[in-house]
Structure 1
């Protein structure tokens, strides 16, 4: 019980730090303009309804305003007091992460969600970030895809609904985990008229006593400026979070893009260090571009990275092995 209380307290403190930073950013932006103060950021549970309005996050500036994490190669930082492990300190824990745009399980003109589950299971992934996930949509047989995949794989799931369709059903992203998901939220990212709403899905995971915060997204695919705004807004949240974290998804941007240049100011791309091959993920038969990523902070050390082909999706999945560093054990009460 004490271990669970300590973990819950760590997660709550981390979330409060994120919200506090958002409030500070909003207040700062309001003080620099003659208009009314920007609305207070809001957070809503991921599975229910649509994501909050785009104003839930502060408007991005020309450069990210959140505190950057230490760049790759920097000395390991001392853990903040509020970030504690409740389990025994046994050394780094190996973590296999997968990001996979599943194309709603639609391949060859038919629904193949079972095949998607088999492809995920074959990787042995511990945490899985999914994009283009349907929930109760007609095109995918009104199935609850996040729940079905979680049941098939024996994993827990967080779902972020970013779009509600007029004919019923939802569309968004999901995070699957072999370990308990103790909290989840979905935040709307900045949007422009006529574009599909995008979101930042958050899941707090208890990795046998060590807290891990997973952030997943699927960024705008047609307009670079909108995509950059979404990346900047996501990183304002992520950079303010002191808990060990992983950020992954379909970023729809190449390694040399402005969006990835910004992301690398805060998080590390393991591919140049341990990647097998060029890491190209689209199109699936003759890939020419790398747009799907797993990024990590300085709490993790990359061990291996490879791409995983799919017989269903129009994306190639990305698998990364990380060593999650041991955190100090905090005494509870």
Structure 2
């Protein structure tokens, strides 16, 4: 099973061109795709509907979209009536196999005034993979506040590990004539976490390594795929800041539920993709 995560930067590459074809080509061939910064009616990409565009370019995939931020500044059509062209910013999951349920988990945020602060979210998709049902989360956390990222990661982990108790989007489905949805323990968290390896928020996610014995794989912490299957070369990056190259760093990740760690056979960063200021991160599971 091949999985890939890609922050699309609303389809605009480092050359400042919007080209959705480049995004689609970069992820085509994956079995499950996690995307962030997917927009509708955003001025920076000529009001494109990226959800519709990606669905057309990748017709062999099921897809779900989770809106984190939704705004309407009162735009009117030529007839003077409400245009209902809402600016939407969020995450997307595409899968070769049916996505039988999804939830959009809004992450905690503060009222920041010195910099823009968008609502962030994690899109949960329950996928009927051939190896069994699997939960996949497309995640995007805050980019300028470590304090906020820590709060978001704590909240995300609480929700992910509470899945069995909550039952996902629906339980007691027989009342509505539906089969009961599966409740798999296994999950994958993929996305732009805006943190570097070993940072305080990274340790909140994975746990603090023992000073003598090192990191351990435990049931209550996700496992960073970069620590598995040989990882990626030292100095690897997944995001490039063209204005301030010194800020370029590794901030995109795939984390797997502890029972899945032994299934990770490879992890790599596609350094050739040019559709965004980020690079796709690929993970393969046995």
TM-score range, shorter chain: 0.7 to 0.9
* Residues 245 and 296 in structure 1, CA contact (< 8 A), matched pair in contact too: yes
Distance of 1:156 and 1:137 partners within structure 2: 24
In the superposition, the TM-score normalised over structure 2's length comes to 0.74
Q: Give CA-to-partner distance per residue, 1:116-170, whole Å, 9 cap, x none.
A: 111111xx21111111111233432333212321331221111111112344320
Distance of 1:179 and 1:292 partners within structure 2: 24
Distance of 2:161 and 2:203 partners within structure 1: 15
* Residues 62 and 95 in structure 2, CA contact (< 8 A), matched pair in contact too: yes
- Aligned equivalent of 2:135, options 206, 213, 217: 213
User: How big is the alpha-carbon RMSD for the aligned residues of Structure 1 and Structure 2?
Assistant: 1.9
Unpaired stretches in structure 1, ≥5 consecutive residues? 1-94, 324-333
Distance of 1:311 and 1:217 partners within structure 2: 21
Task: Tell me: higher relative CO, structure 1 or 2? Use CA pairs within 8 A at least 6 residues apart.
Answer: 1
Unpaired stretches in structure 2, ≥5 consecutive residues? 74-85, 165-183, 208-220
Matched, 1:169 2:132: no
* Residues 225 and 253 in structure 2, CA contact (< 8 A), matched pair in contact too: no
Change (3 A) 1:97 1:191: same
Distance of 1:297 and 1:147 partners within structure 2: 31
- Aligned equivalent of 1:183, options 86, 101, 117: 101
* Residues 26 and 280 in structure 2, CA contact (< 8 A), matched pair in contact too: no
3-state DSSP of counterpart to 2:268: strand
* Residues 284 and 316 in structure 1, CA contact (< 8 A), matched pair in contact too: no
Distance of 1:140 and 1:206 partners within structure 2: 33
- Aligned equivalent of 1:268, options 214, 220, 223: 223
* Residues 3 and 283 in structure 2, CA contact (< 8 A), matched pair in contact too: yes
Q: Which residue of 1 aligns with 2:146?
A: 224
Q: Which residue of 1 aligns with 2:275?
A: 312
3-state DSSP of counterpart to 1:299: helix
**How many Å apart are 1:290 and its aligned residue?**
1.2
In the superposition, the TM-score normalised over structure 1's length comes to 0.64
3-state DSSP of counterpart to 2:249: coil
Q: Which residue of 1 aligns with 2:237?
A: 280
* Equivalent residues in 2 for 1:1-333, closer than 5 Å: 95-107=1-13, 108-121=15-28, 124-153=29-58, 154-167=60-73, 168-194=86-112, 195-208=117-130, 210-241=132-163, 243=184, 244-265=186-207, 266-274=221-229, 275-278=231-234, 279-283=236-240, 288-300=248-260, 301-309=263-271, 310-323=273-286
